[in-house]
Amino acid sequence: MEHKTLGRSNLKIPVLGLGTWGIGGFSAKSTEGDDLSVAALRLGLDLGMRFIDTAEIYARGHSEEVVAKAIRNQRDSVFLATKVSAENLTYDGVLKSCNASLKRLDTAYIDLYQVHWPSSRIPISDTMKAMERLAKDGKIRHVGVSNFSVKQTKEAQEALSSLDLASNQVEYSLNERSIENDLLPYAEQEGITIVAYSPLARGLISRSSGDRWRLIDEIASKYHKTRSQVALNWLIGKGPVVAIPKARDPQHLHENAGAQGWRMLKEDSEALSRAFT
C-alpha cells in the first residue's frame, strides 16, 4: 500500500482508507449484516487499507461498535479516524463525545479526531481547546475537521496553539470538483491532508454512461484497470489527497485496493480533469 504523510506530522497513512457510512446502519442502528460488515472491514485491512473512517453519528454509534469488532487484536496497526458531531462541539461536549467514541471503539486512543461539520453556534476556539486537552490526555493523536471552507479551516488552525490541524475531510471525486477552486490549493500550501469522501460519487462512477464516461473507459482499458480504479487513482495522484471509499462487497474491496501502486500519466489525469469539469 502506498502511504502519504498526514498533515505536517511525520506519520505516514495509507492513501486509501475504508469509509463506514452504512456500516451498522445509516441514520439508525441496524445489527443485521454486522458479520458481513466486520468481514468486509477485515478484508479491507488485509488488503492494506489500514485506515478506517467512522463517526459518532453513523448508525447512532453502532458503526463505531462494528469497527471495534473489526480491529480487535490489530488495533495498533490501524489508523483510526472518527468524528464529533456539530451539536457536540462545546468544550464539555467534545470531551463527552470522545469518551463515548473511545468506549464504543473499545480503544484507548483515536488516531484522528475530526469535527464532522462546522457549527455557527459554538465558537471553534471552545472546540479546539477540548481537542488540545484530549491530545494532552493521550486520548487522540491528531486533530482534523470535515466540511470546512478555507475561511473555517483558517479559523480552526488559528484556534489551535499546541497542535497542527492535520486534515480536512471533504467531498471530492471526478464528479464533485469544487474544492479545486480554493481548498485544495490552500491545503497543499498549508500542509493539510485532504481526506476525500464519496470518492466514487456514491457508486455513480461505475454506473454512468455518456461521452465523458467513454474517456474514463478508454483510460481504464489502457492501464488494464476499472473505472473505479481510475477514478481513485486520479484522486490520490494529487499531492495532499487520500481517499476513503466505502465498500462492503468483497469484489469492490479488491478493486479499490488495486487503485494504488501505479500512476496514470499526467496527460491522462489532465484529460480526465478536462472531461469532468
Interacting residues with ligand NAP (CB under 6 A): 19-21, 53, 116, 146-147, 169, 197-203, 206, 228, 244-249, 252, 255-256
Number of H helices, E strands in the chain: 11, 10
Nearer to ligand NAP, 44 or 93 (CB): 44
127 three-state secondary structure? helix
Nearer to ligand NAP, 133 or 175 (CB): 175
Helices marked H in the chain — which ranges?
Answer: 34-46, 62-71, 91-105, 124-136, 150-159, 183-190, 204-207, 211-223, 227-236, 250-257, 266-275
Distance (Å, whole) CA 71 – CA 68: 5
User: What minimum distance in Å lies between the beta carbon of 151 and ligand NAP?
Assistant: 18
Exposed e or buried b per residue across 129-158, where buried means at least 16 C-beta atoms within 10 angstroms of its C-beta: bbbbebbeeebbbbbbbbbbebebbebbbe
User: What minimum distance in Å lies between the beta carbon of 136 and ligand NAP?
Assistant: 26
User: What minimum distance in Å lies between the beta carbon of 25 and ligand NAP?
Assistant: 12
Distance (Å, whole) CA 212 – CA 200: 15
User: What minimum distance in Å lies between the beta carbon of 173 and ligand NAP?
Assistant: 6
Distance (Å, whole) CA 223 – CA 23: 32
Distance (Å, whole) CA 16 – CA 260: 8
User: What minimum distance in Å lies between the beta carbon of 266 and ligand NAP?
Assistant: 24
Q: Are 153 and 120 in contact (CB under 8 A)?
A: no
- Backbone φ and ψ for 116, nearest 5 degrees, come out as -65, -45
The amino acid at residue 260 is Q
Nearer to ligand NAP, 133 or 223 (CB): 223
Nearer to ligand NAP, 172 or 186 (CB): 172
Nearer to ligand NAP, 139 or 227 (CB): 227
Nearer to ligand NAP, 53 or 65 (CB): 53
User: What minimum distance in Å lies between the beta carbon of 238 and ligand NAP?
Assistant: 16
